[in-house]
Amino acid sequence: MKLVVKKDGVLLDYLYENLDMPKKRIKQYLTHGAIFVNNNKTTKFDFKLVSGMTIMIDTTSKNKKSLPFAILFEDDHIIVVNKPSGLLTIATSKEKEKTLFHIVREYLISKDRNAKVFIVHRLDRDTSGIVVLAKDIKTKNQLQENWNEFVSLREYVAVVNGHPKKEEDRIVQSLKETKTNLVYVSKKGDGREAITNYKLIKSSKKYSMLSVKIETGRKNQIRVAFASLKMPIVGDKKYGDFKCQESRLYLHANRLKMYYPVIKKDILFETSVPIEFKKIMNDN
């Protein structure tokens, strides 16, 4: 992108006045050394401009942002990422910028200033794993409106306290939520049905690693299911593992299979089991 300066001024203010670009984005280009005045790189916001100078903004790939987590799939319509534990999916009244949505949006805008992004579904802040985001409103609406029909597999890996009585089982519960956002098991029919399937992968002295498949997508469903069996997920200080010193929740969304209407085929997204899950099983 090239500009010829038409009047004297200060670099940051001049670019903001003459480009259809947020000031924050211009500052990022300056900070990353992507702006050249008369072919000389400058990172100074207050660089003095004189009429007739040329400004070049390098928007090539070497100056684009990269995500701090893995991209599992990306095309013109969706981007699928591996969300880390501890990161909100979308903003709340208390947190606006440290979210998956904001980080992915900034990344996409760094490649195309007109880029859009939309959340299709969510994971809890403390749960890591696969999240699908759409790049256009049509795809977003198609996926959201048909999510339960399009998604044929939602699989997680969890490390829980103790050992299950059965190596595999199907847990059917009714869930309700308190005014303080705590989900609990209610009487059958008095709440929203939640169906959770699990299969034992591995046991250690203290813990069990489970493969978990859900048939419904209720809030905190997996966490409540195992807490109700007196086997709270390791690190779940909200639902029973109150004395745990681990820094994360040991729940990870590792496989998601969905019908992708753009290509009219099912597509499977997969991630590996986080290394800390394997380590805690080996050490305990």
Q: Are strands 251-260 and 128-134 parallel, antiparallel or unpaired?
A: parallel
Residue type at position 27 = K
Q: Domain locations in the chain?
A: 2-63, 64-145, 150-284
Taking only the tens place, the pLDDT of each residue in 150-189 is 999 999 999 999 999 999 999 999 999 999 999 999 988 8
For the record, the structure tokens of 224 come out as: 């409540």
**168 contacts 200 by C-beta, under 8 angstroms:** yes
CATH number for 150-284: choose from 3.20.20.70, 2.60.40.10, 3.30.2350.10, 3.90.79.10.
3.30.2350.10
* pLDDT tens profile 250-277: 999 999 999 999 999 999 999 999 999 9
The pLDDT tens digits along the chain (284 residues) read: 788 999 899 999 999 888 877 888 888 888 777 888 887 778 888 888 988 889 988 866 444 567 888 899 999 999 999 999 999 998 776 666 689 999 999 999 988 889 999 999 999 999 999 999 999 999 999 999 999 999 999 999 999 999 999 999 999 999 999 999 999 999 888 899 999 999 999 999 999 999 999 999 999 999 999 999 999 999 999 999 898 989 899 999 999 999 999 999 999 999 999 999 999 999 88
C-alpha span between 190 and 247 (Å, rounded):
35
- According to CATH, the superfamily of the domain at 64-145 is Pseudouridine synthase (3.30.2350.10)
Judge contact between 240 and 262, C-beta under 8 A.
Answer: no
* CATH of range 2-63; options 3.40.190.10, 3.10.290.10, 1.10.645.10, 3.50.50.60: 3.10.290.10
Identify the helix (H) or strand (E) that includes residue 34: none
d(CA 57, CA 43): 12
| 227 three-state secondary structure | helix
Q: Is residue 178 within 8 Å of residue 169, measured between CB atoms?
A: no
Compute the radius of gyration of the chain from its Cα atoms: 24
User: Quick one: how far is CA 43 from the chain centroid?
Assistant: 32
Question: Do 64-145 and 150-284 come out as alike in CATH topology?
Answer: yes
Measured CA to CA, the distance from residue 275 to residue 111 in angstroms comes to: 31
Contact 195, 216 (CB under 8 A): yes
Q: Is 148 buried (19+), middle (13-18) or exposed (0-12) by CB count in 10 A?
A: exposed
Residue 145 neighbours by CB under 8 Å, 6+ apart: none
Instruction: Give the whole-angstrom CA distance, residue 44 versus residue 47.
Output: 5
